[in-house]
Structure 1
Amino acid sequence: MRHLTKRNNTFYYQRRIPSHLQHHYQNAKVVRFSLHTTNPREAVILATKHTANYDREFFQLQYITLSQTPVVTNQFIAERPQVKLQQQAKKKEPKLSECIELFMTAKTVDRVSPKALARYRSRLELLLRIVKDKGINSFTRDDALSFKHQLVQLPPNINNNPRYKGKTIKQIIAFGDKPIGIHTINDTLKVVSGFFDWLVLNEKSDKNPFTKLQVRKEIKASEERRVFTRSDIKKLFTIEPYKTPPKEAWHYWIPLLGLYTGARINELCQLYTDNIKQIDGVWCISINADRPDQKLKTKAAFRNIPIHSKLIKLGFIDYVKSLPLGLVFPTLKYLPEDGYGKYPSKWFSIQRDKVLNKNERYKKTFHSFRHTVANEFKQLGVEYSPASYLLGHTDETMTYGRYGKDYKPRLLQEVIERLDFDIGKP
C-alpha cells in the first residue's frame, strides 16, 4: 500500500509533503512516523486512517489565506498537536460493551442478514463475558491470549445447557466437558479480530490485539470435507423418492441437482421458474438474488450453471415448464434466517441414514455433493477458473477475477458434461 514502509519488522507511515505546503511543516519534505505494529493488516488499516487525515489536512491548508505569513501558520501548526491532545483528554474512552452495540448497529444499517447478526452477537457477547467490560484501548495482547486460552476449553452451548446456568466461565471450564470444535473456535476468533479491525478503521480503538490467534487444524481441509464415493452415490439414489412417485417434487430433484451442479442447497431451494432459462441456446440455472427471499453467500455466487443432459433426460425442464410462474419448489417453507434450505437439509440427512452406515456417512451431508463435484473437477483436470466459476468461488487470479467476464454457456456446458455418475435409473 502507498505510504507504508517497513524497518526492523515494524511498519512506518511515510508521505511526501506537497512542495507548496512544506512551509507549514518547518520546511520538512516528508512526514514519517512509526505505526508501532508488525502486523501487515493492522498497518494497512492505520495507514488508511492517517492517509484520510492528511488528505483532509492538506486540503484545508490550501485555503489558508495568503495574508497569513508562514510564521503565523507555523505557529498554528505547532499548537495543533496540543489542541488535539486536549480534545482527546476530554473525549471519554468507550467501553467494550458500548463498542459492541456500535458495531451491531453499523452491521444492521449495512443490511447484514439476521443469521449473520446473531452470529456476531453471540461471539462478541462471549468475548465480553470472558474478558469483562473495560475501556476499549486498555485491551492488550495478554488479554487476547487469555481469551483464547479460556475459549478453547469451553464446551458448546454454554448459554442453553442447564448444567452451566449461573456458573462463571472458570466454573464451566472446571467441569472438564468436551470443548467446542476448532471451526467454532476459529470462527469466534475471526469475528473478534474483525470487530477490532472495524474499531480501528472507525477510530474507536488504537490497535487490534486479537489478530492472528487462529488455532491450527490438525487435518487437511481436503480430508475434513468428505466427498461421496461412487458406492455412496449409487446407494443414495435408491431411497424411496427414486422407487415410487415422491410426495414432493423436491424430494426427487434436489439431490439430483446437488450432484450435477455442486450448488449450495439454499441456492437450489430458492430457485424461481424464470431462473431456469436458455442462454445462447443452452439451458441454464441462473443462480442470483433478484428477489427478497433469495440470498447468496458471496458476490461470486452469482452465476449461470448449464443443466446437465442427465437432468434434461430425466425431465427437469419439462417439470419446470409445467409450473406456473413462481418457485420451482413451491411447497418449501421460507425462514428469514435460513431461507428455504433448512428442512430439505434435515430431510436429506434422514434419507442418507437409511442407506449409508455410520462409517459411510461420517462427516457427509448434502454439502458433500458440492465437495464431490469439486473433487471430480480436480480429478478430471478441469482448469481452476471455470471450475471456480461453476461452484461460485471467488477467482483469486487478478486477470480472471477482476477483469474477466462471465464464461460463455457453451464452454461451461462442456465442463458440466464431464460429470459422469452411475446413479442407475432414478
Structure 2
Amino acid sequence: MVDIDKLLKDAENAFQLTIGGVRLPNGTHLTNVRIDTPEDERQFHALMAAAPPTSTSQGTKAVAVERRKEALLSALAATHLADLERAGRDKKTVLESRHSLMLLRGIVGDIPAADLTSDHCRQFFDEVAHWPRHATKRPEFANLAVREVLAKAKTMAELPPAVATLNKHHQRLSTFFNWLKKNKHLTENPLHGLVRQDKDDAEEETGRAFTQDELDAIFEPTAYVAWAAKYPHRFWVPILALYSGARVTELSQLYVADVEVINGIAGYHINRRFAGQKLKNKASRRFVPLAQPVLDAGFLRFVEEAKLAGEARLFPQLPNNDGGGFGKQMSKQFSAYLKKRAVTEAGLGMHAFRHTLATRLARAKVPLQTIGRITGHKGEQGTLGKFYIDEPTLAERLAALGQFVPGVPLMRYSP
C-alpha cells in the first residue's frame, strides 16, 4: 500500500525514480516506470493528477519503488572521476578531485545526487573548515571515517585550511556539479547559491621569502655540498630556484634540450614540450635567462655532462611515479634538508625561493612586469603567453637578475 500524494512529492523532488508497478484507481496499470529527466517528471505528475486516489482502502499498490543505486553520490562520483581520466586530465587533478568528493560524501552522506541543495554545500564548507592538514597521512586519524576525523580534529588545536585550499574544493565540487547537470542528474548547480571568497582576497602565491639567516644556513658550503653530493638535482635545483624564482616542478622536469642560447643569452625553457612536462597556467610558459653566478658555478658544464651521458632529462633521478610531477621528490628531499639546517617553520620549502627573488627584485625597483616575465606570475605577462621567449625583453630580464643579491656564495660544480 502506498500514499500516492507522497509518491507525487518524491517524483517532484528527485529524478532517477523507478516504479516497478502500480495500478491507478481508474484501473490503469503501470509497470517499470522510470523518471530520468524533468520532462519525465512533468508527464508523470500530469498522469497521476488525472487519476486522483479515493482512499488507500481501494487497494492501490506499488512495487519496488526505489531510487536507482547509480544515482547515489558514490556511484556518480566514480563515473565522473573515470570521465576525467578518460579525458586525459592530469593525475594530480584526478587525485585532488577524488579527495574533495570523498569529503563531500563523508560530510553530507551518500545521498542521491538529485537531493543536493545549497544547504548541503554550506554544510560541506562549515565542516571542511575543520579538516586537519595531511589527515590521510597522520596516524592519529588512521582508519577513521570522515565525520570521525572531523569530530576528533575539533577537539585539537588544528590550523584551519588555507583560503586557497577551500577555493580549490569549491572549484572541484563545481566541476562535479556541472557534470551532474550536463548528465541530467541535477537541474542547477547548488553552489550557485553560495558566495565565494573574492579571488583578490585569496592570494594564490602563499608563503614568504627566506630570511638572510635561513639562506646562510641553506647554502653553508660544507653542509650543502655534503647533502647535494648524492644527486645532481640536489645541487642544482635550489640554485636555479634561488636565481629564477621558478617552481620546483618547473625545474625538476627540465630536459637537456630545454637549455639553449638565444641572442647570445643562455637560459632554459619552461614549457610543455617533452613527456611528463606540465604547466601551472598559460603565464608559466617562458624562457628564463641564466644569471651570471649560476653560469660561474658551472651549470652549462653540467648540462654538457648530462648530454654526453646520453640523458634526455637533466635530473633523471627524480621520478614521476604517480603523475604528480617530477618535483614531488625534490620537495621532500629539500624539506628534510631544511629541518637538518634548523629551518623548521611549517609550510616553508622550495616555494620560498620564489618569494625571495620577487621580493628582493621589487626592493631593487625592478618593474613588476619584468619580475613577472622572469617568474611566470599570472597577470604580468603581456604578450608572453603567446610569444614565450619574448626576445625584445630578454636582455632586460638578464639585467634584472643582475640586481638580485642573495648574499650567499655559490659553490662550483664538480662533475
Which secondary structure does the structure 2 equivalent of 1:182 belong to? coil
Contact 1:185 1:215 (C-alpha < 8 Å) held by counterparts: no
Tell me the residue number matched to 1:193.
174
Which secondary structure does the structure 2 equivalent of 1:305 belong to? strand
Which secondary structure does the structure 1 equivalent of 2:266 belong to? strand
Q: Give the superposition deviation at 1:278.
A: 0.7
- Aligned counterpart for 2:378 among listed residues 384, 387, 394: 394
Tell me the residue number matched to 2:78.
101
CA-based RMSD of the aligned residues comes to 3.5
- Aligned counterpart for 1:333 among listed residues 319, 326, 333: 319
Which secondary structure does the structure 1 equivalent of 2:277 belong to? coil
- Tell me how far apart the structure 2 counterparts of residues 222 and 378 of structure 1 sit (CA, whole Å): 18
Q: Does 1:269 align with 2:252?
A: yes
Letter in 2 for 1:250: H
- Aligned counterpart for 2:207 among listed residues 205, 221, 225: 225
Q: Give the superposition deviation at 1:286.
A: 1.0
Tell me the residue number matched to 1:85.
39
| Cα-to-partner distance string for 1:126-179 (whole Å, 9 max, x where unaligned) | 211221233433322222212222222344566666765776655544432345
- Tell me how far apart the structure 2 counterparts of residues 160 and 350 of structure 1 sit (CA, whole Å): 17
Change (3 A) 1:240 1:221: farther
- Tell me how far apart the structure 2 counterparts of residues 203 and 151 of structure 1 sit (CA, whole Å): 27
Letter in 1 for 2:218: L
Which secondary structure does the structure 2 equivalent of 1:389 belong to? helix
Q: Give the superposition deviation at 1:182.
A: 1.7
- Aligned counterpart for 1:418 among listed residues 387, 400, 403: 403
TM-score normalized by the length of structure 2: 0.70
Q: Does 1:371 align with 2:355?
A: yes
- Tell me how far apart the structure 2 counterparts of residues 276 and 401 of structure 1 sit (CA, whole Å): 19
Structure 1 residues without counterparts, runs of 5 or longer: 1-82
Q: Does 1:138 align with 2:123?
A: no
| Cα-to-partner distance string for 1:339-368 (whole Å, 9 max, x where unaligned) | 33233222222322233454xx45421110
Tell me the residue number matched to 2:273.
290
Q: Give the superposition deviation at 1:375.
A: 1.6
Q: Give the superposition deviation at 1:261.
A: 0.9
Matches within 5 A, 1:341-380: 341-358=327-344, 361-380=345-364
Which secondary structure does the structure 1 equivalent of 2:406 belong to? coil
Q: Give the superposition deviation at 1:420.
A: 2.0
- Aligned counterpart for 2:232 among listed residues 226, 235, 249: 249
Which secondary structure does the structure 1 equivalent of 2:191 belong to? coil
| Cα-to-partner distance string for 1:52-106 (whole Å, 9 max, x where unaligned) | xxxxxxxxxxxxxxxxxxxxxxxxxxxxxxx983487589894433432332132
Contact 2:258 2:270 (C-alpha < 8 Å) held by counterparts: yes
- Tell me how far apart the structure 1 counterparts of residues 325 and 386 of structure 2 sit (CA, whole Å): 32
Tell me the residue number matched to 1:66.
none
Q: Give the superposition deviation at 1:280.
A: 1.8
Tell me the residue number matched to 2:264.
281
Change (3 A) 1:133 1:330: closer
- Tell me how far apart the structure 2 counterparts of residues 159 and 89 of structure 1 sit (CA, whole Å): 47
Letter in 1 for 2:255: Y
| Cα-to-partner distance string for 1:287-335 (whole Å, 9 max, x where unaligned) | 1222223222223222110110111111111221233242222333342
Q: Give the superposition deviation at 1:213.
A: 5.5
Which secondary structure does the structure 1 equivalent of 2:326 belong to? coil
- Tell me how far apart the structure 1 counterparts of residues 222 and 321 of structure 2 sit (CA, whole Å): 27
Which secondary structure does the structure 1 equivalent of 2:177 belong to? helix
Letter in 1 for 2:376: G
Letter in 2 for 1:194: T
Matches within 5 A, 1:196-207: 196-200=177-181, 203-207=184-188
Which secondary structure does the structure 2 equivalent of 1:277 belong to? strand
Letter in 2 for 1:96: L
- Tell me how far apart the structure 2 counterparts of residues 348 and 84 of structure 1 sit (CA, whole Å): 55
Q: Give the superposition deviation at 1:257.
A: 0.6
Contact 1:239 1:355 (C-alpha < 8 Å) held by counterparts: no
- Aligned counterpart for 2:91 among listed residues 114, 121, 124: 114
Letter in 2 for 1:225: G
Count of aligned residue pairs for this structure pair? 340
- Aligned counterpart for 2:103 among listed residues 96, 107, 126: 126
Contact 2:108 2:124 (C-alpha < 8 Å) held by counterparts: yes
Which secondary structure does the structure 2 equivalent of 1:190 belong to? helix
